[in-house]
């Protein structure tokens, strides 16, 4: 038995790394900020916030994107990866029954296959964010003290903040593209506004399908989410949500399309939208589209978007919309203060947004992007407590918001290209009003040393400074700002591909070791978000095995 | 005893794997012993010997190798009368500093380690899973080694290491020194 365990352990050590499909020559730059509320990835640029599914923390759109096959591939490719990470002081392997301390650990393992000359792609795996978020932990203690029972659930995600198994497939033929995603998940979800924890588990299946003909394109997306919610922290109730989008575009001239679109969401009140669509390209560099329609409640919706690429280094985009978001189902749940309701009010807002990106400025190694936002609308949403009636408004009613922000990036390297430096500075400012969440000023620098024949071995140190991250709310008429501390922290990483002892032409293994964030201003653990978990230095090891 | 057999089995597997390796590359198989001197704040642990084996693979940097190894020993304390089996696995990066002499070289090592200690079940009836009965903690280790290349393909190394294991509530420190014997598989152009 011990022998079997040892072999398993050894296999794990070998497999503790991963074949990330885009590994070759590129290293993922985005970071999972483990302790942001609901685990969002923030780029600290409002225009570039990753789409996030707040019912499934730890899942990103990034997870669902299947990578492209590299140019030098022989027509098939299999990647296998495994990633183990834990905050210092936390056991490395998941222990389902207990955690030594309220800290983070993570397991992410999976495989991706590219077959039939990349026409068929399959991906599947397992992801566990075994985080005992401080917020969740504290709330559970409060609940236990108040109600005399400890919320514990069986099944996927029982004790971690997020756990899921996933499978993705994508088939690309000449005129047909289809992609399916299935997940079995269990999550501690932090509800909006107060960030109270609720456990939700279930199955989710989403399917995209598009077919294009000579003059027509049809796109269909359907998503069914079969949830079980533990709103009283003891009993579950089912809540199935079905969403779909349908778009039919017809070519009316060489450079123009017209179409019809409809969207539906069973979670929203009268959440069905019908729109007409028109796009036109004046030339290769200039194009626009219009969308206009009605919700079943009679509320109008309209959008206009203009895109201009004067040259390959500059891209400008202007978007204007009147948007209506219907109210969603009210959530009745048990908070530590008693029964509570969260009511999502409908949102009507007028919004103008411009965005530009310049890849290179005056032939200097500088790139920049910037944005402006003008927005007016009704409250973002409100919460009404059950016992003690109170209202929390995240954005003032009819408040006019004018904001702008930008990011400048520079990339330098030594003459031998052994040292690379990437520095950035970004900030956002508000001239009028405020957004519900204020993304801070951030500046940082990343220094890498690369070595080896093809500069494949990479050693990186990254230093980041962030001003406090704040959430703006209005509680019973009083403005409140809830914010994290400012942060200065360091991350270290080492990426080393190595030569496989077996079939080295076909097996390309590599490891990535990373450590951080090491906080330099405060204690070893720091909150990145007002309601997120504290995060101390974590260490992770990842192994990639690329079979080609 | 079973673990030592497992280590032997692993060594054989590694040897078999590397025998089929591409000729233009060079791998090192090694085994040896290390004497661990553990320290932490709450308990007094006795120094203890460990035995282990591993292998090193080349990277695109000719001076850099990546190593995988496992060491096994008994972590014990006479003060609190406890003896726990301990397994230390690691992924290491080894940088070789070449000296003018062909016989002696110097290498520096940075390693990510997993220190697993088997926790005995309190009662035989405890239904404790195999992995859950091991406490695993991450740690990092840094050290240096003097290597002797006197006999062809054989490397004798004397490593000296310092480690910190990020356990809870206290960090666990360990210092070690030892002796390893490695065999280099290299053929073709390198020979």
Give the CATH number, domain containing residue A461. Answer: 2.40.170.20
Residues of A in contact with B18 (CB under 8 A): 501
Distance of alpha carbon A45 from alpha carbon A58, whole angstroms: 20
Q: Do A452 and B61 touch (CB under 8 A)?
A: yes
What per-residue string of b and e applies to A55-67 under the rule 16 or more CB within 10 Å gives b? bbbbbbeebbebe
Q: Considering only residues A3 and A147, tell me which one the structure prediction assigns the higher pLDDT.
A: A147
| E runs forming strands in A433-486 | 437-438, 442-451, 457-466, 470-475, 478-483
Report yes or no on B84 lying in a domain: no
A499 closest CA partner among A488, A513, A509: A509
Q: What is the pLDDT of residues A238-290, one digit of tens each?
A: 999 999 999 999 999 988 999 999 999 998 888 899 999 999 998 889 999 99
Question: A interface mutation test: which of B112, B113, B135, B190 has the most A CBs within 10 A?
Answer: B112
Report yes or no on B153 lying in a domain: yes
Structure tokens at A185: 């998940």
| CA distances (Å), origin A507, targets A16, A66, A75, A454 | 16, 20, 15, 17
- Measured in residues, chain A has a length of 548
pLDDT band at A43 (very low <50, low <70, confident <90, very high): very low
Q: Do B25 and A504 touch (CB under 8 A)?
A: yes
Q: Report the residue of chain A nearest B89, measured CA to CA.
A: A13
Facing B93 at nearest CB: one of A93, A95, A494: A494
Question: What contacts A40, CB < 8 A, 6 or more positions away?
Answer: A33, A49, A50, A52
In terms of DSSP bridges, do strands A538-547 and A77-87 run parallel, antiparallel, or are they unpaired? antiparallel
A353 closest CA partner among A329, A369, A337: A369
A66 closest CA partner among A219, A223, A177: A177
pLDDT band at A456 (very low <50, low <70, confident <90, very high): confident
Question: What contacts A344, CB < 8 A, 6 or more positions away?
Answer: A327, A328, A329, A330, A381, A382
Report yes or no on A8 lying in a domain: no
Q: What is the mean pLDDT of residues A511-536?
A: 80
Report yes or no on B108 lying in a domain: no
Range of the domain at B181: 2-77+92-100+137-186
| pLDDT of A206 over the 80 cut | yes
Distance of alpha carbon B121 from alpha carbon A529, whole angstroms: 40
pLDDT band at A95 (very low <50, low <70, confident <90, very high): very low
Whether A28 and chain B come into contact, CB under 8 Å, resolves to no
A495 closest CA partner among A19, A67, A79: A19
Say how many domains are in chain B: 1
Question: What contacts B23, CB < 8 A, 6 or more positions away?
Answer: B187, B188, B189
| E runs forming strands in A1-40 | none
Report yes or no on B155 lying in a domain: yes
Q: What is the DSSP letter of A1?
A: -
Instruction: Give me the pLDDT at residue A523, please.
Output: 75
Distance of alpha carbon B4 from alpha carbon B55, whole angstroms: 16
Report yes or no on A34 lying in a domain: yes
Report yes or no on A366 lying in a domain: yes
Report yes or no on B62 lying in a domain: yes
pLDDT band at A452 (very low <50, low <70, confident <90, very high): confident
Report yes or no on B59 lying in a domain: yes
Q: What is the pLDDT of residues B82-139, one digit of tens each?
A: 788 889 899 999 999 988 888 899 999 999 998 888 776 665 555 444 445 667 788 8
Q: What's this model's pTM, rounded to 2 decimal places?
A: 0.80
Q: Do A454 and B5 touch (CB under 8 A)?
A: no
Q: What is the mean pLDDT of residues A450-469?
A: 88
Report yes or no on A540 lying in a domain: yes
Range of the domain at A115: 15-547
Say how many domains are in chain A: 1
Distance of alpha carbon A277 from alpha carbon A236, whole angstroms: 42
Distance of alpha carbon A161 from alpha carbon A535, whole angstroms: 14
Q: Across chain A, what does the average pLDDT equal?
A: 77
Q: Do B168 and A100 touch (CB under 8 A)?
A: yes
| pLDDT of A373 over the 80 cut | yes
Residues of A in contact with B57 (CB under 8 A): 498-501
Report yes or no on B50 lying in a domain: yes
Q: Do A89 and B131 touch (CB under 8 A)?
A: no
Structure tokens at A322: 């009147």
Q: What is the DSSP letter of A64?
A: G
Give A104→chain B minimum CA distance, Å: 13
ipTM reported for the complex, 2 dp: 0.79
Whether A9 and chain B come into contact, CB under 8 Å, resolves to yes
């Amino acid at each position: 038995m011990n022998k079997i365990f040892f072999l398993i352990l050894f296999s794990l050590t070998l497999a503790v790394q991963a074949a990330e499909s885009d590994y070759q020559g590129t290293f993922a730059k985005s970071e999972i900020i483990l302790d942001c509320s609901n685990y969002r990835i923030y780029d600290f640029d409002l225009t570039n916030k990753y789409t996030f599914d707040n019912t499934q923390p730890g899942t990103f759109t990034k997870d669902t994107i299947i990578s492209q096959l590299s140019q030098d591939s022989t027509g098939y490719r299999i990647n296998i990866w495994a990633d183990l990470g834990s905050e210092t002081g936390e056991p490395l392997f998941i222990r389902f029954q207990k955690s030594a301390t309220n800290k983070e650990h993570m397991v992410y393992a999976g495989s991706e296959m590219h077959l039939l000359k990349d026409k068929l792609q399959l991906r599947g795996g397992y992801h566990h964010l075994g985080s005992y978020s401080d917020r969740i932990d504290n709330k559970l203690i409060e609940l236990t003290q108040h109600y005399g029972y400890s919320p514990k659930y069986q099944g996927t995600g029982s004790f971690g903040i997020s756990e899921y198994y996933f499978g993705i497939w994508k088939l690309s033929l000449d005129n047909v593209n289809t992609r399916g995603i299935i997940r079995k998940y269990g999550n501690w979800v932090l509800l909006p506004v107060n960030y109270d924890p609720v456990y939700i588990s279930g199955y989710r299946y989403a399917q995209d399908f598009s077919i294009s003909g000579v003059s027509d394109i049809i796109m269909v997306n359907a998503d069914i989410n079969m949830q079980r919610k533990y709103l009283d922290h003891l009993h579950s109730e089912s809540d199935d949500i079905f969403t779909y989008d349908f778009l039919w575009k017809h070519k009316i001239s060489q450079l123009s399309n017209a179409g019809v679109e409809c969207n539906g969401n069973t979670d929203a009140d009268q959440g069905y939208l019908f729109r007409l669509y028109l796009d036109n390209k004046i030339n290769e560099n200039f194009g626009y589209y219009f969308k206009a329609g009605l919700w079943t409640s009679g509320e109008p919706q309209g959008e206009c978007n203009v895109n201009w690429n004067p040259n390959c280094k500059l891209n400008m985009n202007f978007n204007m919309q009147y948007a209506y978001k219907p109210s969603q189902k009210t959530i009745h749940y048990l908070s530590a203060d008693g029964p509570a309701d969260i009511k999502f009010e409908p949102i009507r807002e007028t919004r103008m947004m411009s965005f530009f990106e310049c890849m290179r400025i005056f032939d200097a190694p500088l790139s920049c992007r910037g944005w402006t936002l003008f927005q007016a609308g009704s409250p973002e949403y409100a919460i009404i407590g059950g016992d003690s009636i109170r209202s929390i408004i995240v954005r003032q009613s009819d408040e006019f918001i004018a904001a702008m922000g930008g990011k400048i990036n520079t990339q330098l390297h030594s003459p031998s290209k052994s040292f690379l430096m990437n520095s950035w500075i970004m900030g956002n400012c508000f001239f009028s009003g405020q957004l519900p969440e204020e993304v801070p000023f951030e500046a940082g620098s990343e220094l890498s040393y690369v070595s080896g024949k093809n500069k494949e071995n990479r050693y990186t140190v990254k230093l980041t400074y962030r001003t406090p991250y704040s959430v703006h709310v209005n509680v019973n008429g009083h403005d409140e700002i809830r914010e994290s501390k400012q942060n200065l922290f360091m991350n270290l990483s080492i990426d080393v591909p190595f030569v496989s002892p077996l079939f080295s032409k076909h097996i390309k293994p590599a490891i990535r070791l990373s450590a951080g964030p090491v906080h330099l201003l405060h204690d070893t653990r720091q909150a990145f978000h007002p309601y997120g978990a504290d995060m101390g230095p974590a260490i992770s090891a990842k192994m990639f095995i690329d079979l080609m | 005893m079973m673990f030592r057999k497992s280590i032997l089995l692993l060594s054989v597997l590694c040897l078999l794997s590397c025998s089929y390796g591409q000729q233009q590359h060079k791998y090192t198989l090694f085994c040896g012993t290390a004497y661990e001197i553990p320290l932490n704040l709450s308990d007094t642990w006795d120094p203890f010997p460990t035995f282990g084996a591993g292998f090193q693979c080349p990277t695109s940097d000719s001076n850099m190798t990546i190593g995988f190894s496992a060491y096994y020993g008994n972590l014990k304390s006479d003060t609190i009368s406890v003896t726990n089996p301990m397994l230390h696995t690691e992924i290491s990066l080894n940088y070789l500093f070449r000296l003018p002499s062909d016989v002696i070289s110097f290498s520096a090592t940075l390693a990510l380690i997993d220190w697993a200690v088997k926790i005995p079940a309190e009662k035989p009836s405890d239904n404790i899973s195999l992995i859950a009965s091991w406490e695993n903690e991450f740690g990092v280790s840094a050290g240096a080694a003097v290597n002797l290349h006197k006999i062809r393909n054989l490397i004798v190394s004397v490593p000296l290491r310092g480690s910190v294991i990020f356990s809870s509530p206290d960090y666990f420190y360990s210092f070690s020194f030892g002796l390893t014997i490695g065999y280099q598989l290299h053929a073709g152009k390198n020979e």
